[in-house]
Amino acid sequence: MIPFNKPYLHGRELVYIAQSVATGKISGDGVFTKKCHDFFETRYGFKKVLLTTSCTDALEMTALLLDIQPGDEVIAPSYTFVSTVNAFALRGAKIIFADSYSDHPNIDPNEILKLVTPKTKAIVVVHYAGIACDMDSIMKIANQYNIPVVEDAAQAVDGYYKERPLGSIGTFGTFSFHETKNIIAGEGGLLAINDERYINRAEIIREKGTNRASFFRGEVAKYGWVDIGSSFLPSDIIAAYLFAQLENLDDIQTRRKQIWQRYYDNLNKSIVNSEIKLPKVAGYSTNNAHMFYLVCSDLEQRTLLIKHLKENGVYAVFHYLSLHCSEYYQGNYAGQNLVNSDLFTDNLVRLPLFYELTNEQVDYICEKIISFLNV
């Protein structure tokens, strides 16, 4: 069976883990955490970054930093992972779901504009498949109404919008290093803080509500409880694994882009006249090759395609289920129908994409898709 995803070691992960253990300090903010922080701040120019245990945690930190209160409204896409909005629901926010474009799962800024009210306290956008949202339009709305923007860049490491790194444009950017992402650490995340007014409090929230980070820098004589917070910082062992991947980011990205392009070229020739659609990349966005997906014409076709691939030893998977229709939220949802979010819920299928996927495997998967269409 060709798996959908396969976590891998690029080379130095275990060496760095051993080095981390040898330092005698494997809790958070050790040597490798600092190396990871430096990498992101230098390469992408983020004002300040903090490693977290997951993107979910980074999102939860943004909800705390923005002081989201019960009854506040937060606009977000419905076609996304639970954590994008759960972080805000945890603070009692009302989630106002906005629809995607008809030809891409990213949030449509025109839909955001319709949903802004005086209670809107945040706009959360997701760069689906690492493809940038239309950030100029989104920031225009945010600036007009003075609303902070959180970029959920879980899938968007090394992605750019008009040459600006994703995660650096809104107030905050959040990244994931879960084993299914381009750059992995098993579980792991990063918060990028682009507005320096939030830096000090972010350090406190990440350290259980204490000013321990200031203490270790020698800025205060002792540390204690100064705010609310939680334990959002990962062990340095996680950072050691992550740093070995970051050092090889260009190589990893090059290979993923080759795989993505091979899928595209193989399929483009053959399915151009079929009802199945290939992924779109907006002109203002780079493609970080996080995901290769197809959009089938309906749920039945997608079910049959997934079955056909499985019978031929290929594990392809669907993705999100519209959150406004979820078991947890549907009772609270009184908004409009979100037809595009529902369309991707039913029709989108993701193909295997991981560093070690071979060209032969890509060709084989494409052959099976084409044979399915010709039946």
Ligand X SMILES: Cc1ncc(COP(=O)(O)O)c(C=O)c1O
Q: By the criterion CB under 6 A, which residues form the site for ligand X? A: 54-56, 80-81, 83-84, 126, 152, 154-155, 176, 178, 189
Q: Which is nearer to ligand X, 153 or 271 (CB)?
A: 153
Q: Which is nearer to ligand X, 178 or 350 (CB)?
A: 178
Output the smallest distance, CB 309 to ligand X, in A. 22
Task: Write out the chain in H/E/C secondary structure.
Answer: CECCCCCCCCCCHHHHHHHHHHCCCCCCCCHHHHHHHHHHHHHHCCCEEEEECCHHHHHHHHHHHCCCCCCCEEEEECCCCHHHHHHHHCCCCEEEEECECCCCCCECHHHHHHHCCCCEEEEEEECHHHCCCCHHHHHHHHHHHCCCEEEECCCCCCCEECCEECCCCCCEEEEECCCCCCCCCCCCEEEEECCHHHHHHHHHHHECCECHHHHHCCCCCCCCECCCCCECCCCHHHHHHHHHHHCCHHHHHHHHHHHHHHHHHHHHHHHCCCCCECCCCCCCECCCCCCEEEECCCHHHHHHHHHHHHHCCECCECCCCCHHHCCCCHHHCCCCCCHHHHHHHHHEEEECCCCCCCHHHHHHHHHHHHHHHCC
Q: Which is nearer to ligand X, 55 or 115 (CB)?
A: 55
Output the smallest distance, CB 58 to ligand X, in A. 8
Output the smallest distance, CB 185 to ligand X, in A. 9
Output the smallest distance, CB 218 to ligand X, in A. 33
Q: Which is nearer to ligand X, 26 or 154 (CB)?
A: 154
Output the smallest distance, CB 320 to ligand X, in A. 8
Q: Which is nearer to ligand X, 210 or 341 (CB)?
A: 341
Output the smallest distance, CB 53 to ligand X, in A. 8
